[in-house]
Amino acid sequence: MKDGDVTDNRQTLDDLEPTAEDLAAEEAMMNGSAPTDEREGTDGPDVASLIAERDAYFDQFTRARADYQNLRRRVEQDQAHARQQAARDILLQLLPVVDDFDRAMANAPGGAEDQTWVSGTKMVGKKLLGVLERYGVKRYESVGATFDPKHHEAVASDGDGSTVVEAYQEGYLLGDQVLRPAMVRIGDRPPAAAASDEPVA
């Protein structure tokens, strides 16, 4: 065997001998910790930047979800308002028909209560009022009540009184809101009503 061959074998064995870095990495792995490779800080993943990126994406997702929920809620509210407004417009158009029924009954000839057309007209009027009531529409009394600009529209007045003495057109409520104010004449409170301690309905 030549000397050169011995030298080459020795160099190969030296290359296979573990270095201090290899021993430290093996010890770290046996202890359950990650190897401390200086190259990981430059070439490997940056954990802090990954966490920051994850938090940014999660924040964007949370904001997008909140925006979607707010948009959905606004759309539902707009749709409900549109339905209520459409129903209100239709009910307002039916009220003049009810007024016509009231005027027809008020101008019915005397002694015509037993005639079939009178009873038939009353029945149609009751059915119409029943339909309105099913949708939350109800008539309110105005005569004898204190004038309220929210519920009454004064088209005539007698003196300085503030009591409704006559209703030219009945007022109606839709739930708790005024669907159509009553068209009234205001004046002094009648003596009989003024003497009474009970409030006028």
Over residues 85-105, mean pLDDT = 88
Does 87 map to a domain? yes
Per-residue pLDDT, 32: 54
Per-residue pLDDT, 110: 73
pTM over 0.75: no
Report the alpha-carbon distance of residue 155 to residue 173 in Å, rounded. 20
Can you give the CATH number for the domain in which 87 is found?
Answer: 3.90.20
Per-residue pLDDT, 199: 47
More confident residue, 194 or 148: 148
Over residues 50-79, mean pLDDT = 93
64/111 same-domain check: yes
Does 125 map to a domain? yes
Which H or E run contains 138? strand 137-140
CB 139, CB 179: distance < 8 Å: no
Instruction: List the beta bridge partners of residue 186.
Output: 157, 164
171/193 same-domain check: yes
Q: Which of 135, 152, 174 is the last residue of a domain?
A: 135
126/198 same-domain check: no
Beta sheet of 163-169, edge-to-edge order = 152-157, 182-187, 163-169
Q: Which of 93, 116, 135 is the last residue of a domain?
A: 135
Does 18 map to a domain? no
Share of the chain above pLDDT 70, in %: 70
Per-residue pLDDT, 138: 92
Report how many domains make up the chain. 2
CB 140, CB 173: distance < 8 Å: yes
Q: Is the dihedral of CA 157, 148, 96, 106 positive or negative?
A: negative
- Residue 68's alpha-carbon distances to 71, 73, 78, 115, 195, in angstroms, are 5, 9, 15, 63, 62
125/183 same-domain check: no
Confidence of residue 75 (pLDDT cuts 50, 70, 90): very high
169/96 same-domain check: no
Strands 177-180 and 152-157: unpaired
Per-residue pLDDT, 72: 94
79/102 same-domain check: yes
Residue in 81, 98, 104, 84 with CA at minimum distance from that of residue 171: 98
Can you give the CATH number for the domain in which 169 is found?
Answer: 2.30.22.10
68/129 same-domain check: yes
Residue in 130, 105, 127 with CA at minimum distance from that of residue 118: 105
Range of the domain at 99: 54-135
142/127 same-domain check: no
Q: Give the helix ranges, DSSP H, for 148-198.
A: 191-195
Per-residue pLDDT, 40: 46
Per-residue pLDDT tens digits for 4-24: 454 454 555 455 566 666 666
160/189 same-domain check: yes
Per-residue pLDDT, 69: 94
63/118 same-domain check: yes
Angle between helices 47-106 and 116-134 (to 10 degrees): 160
Share of the chain above pLDDT 90, in %: 34
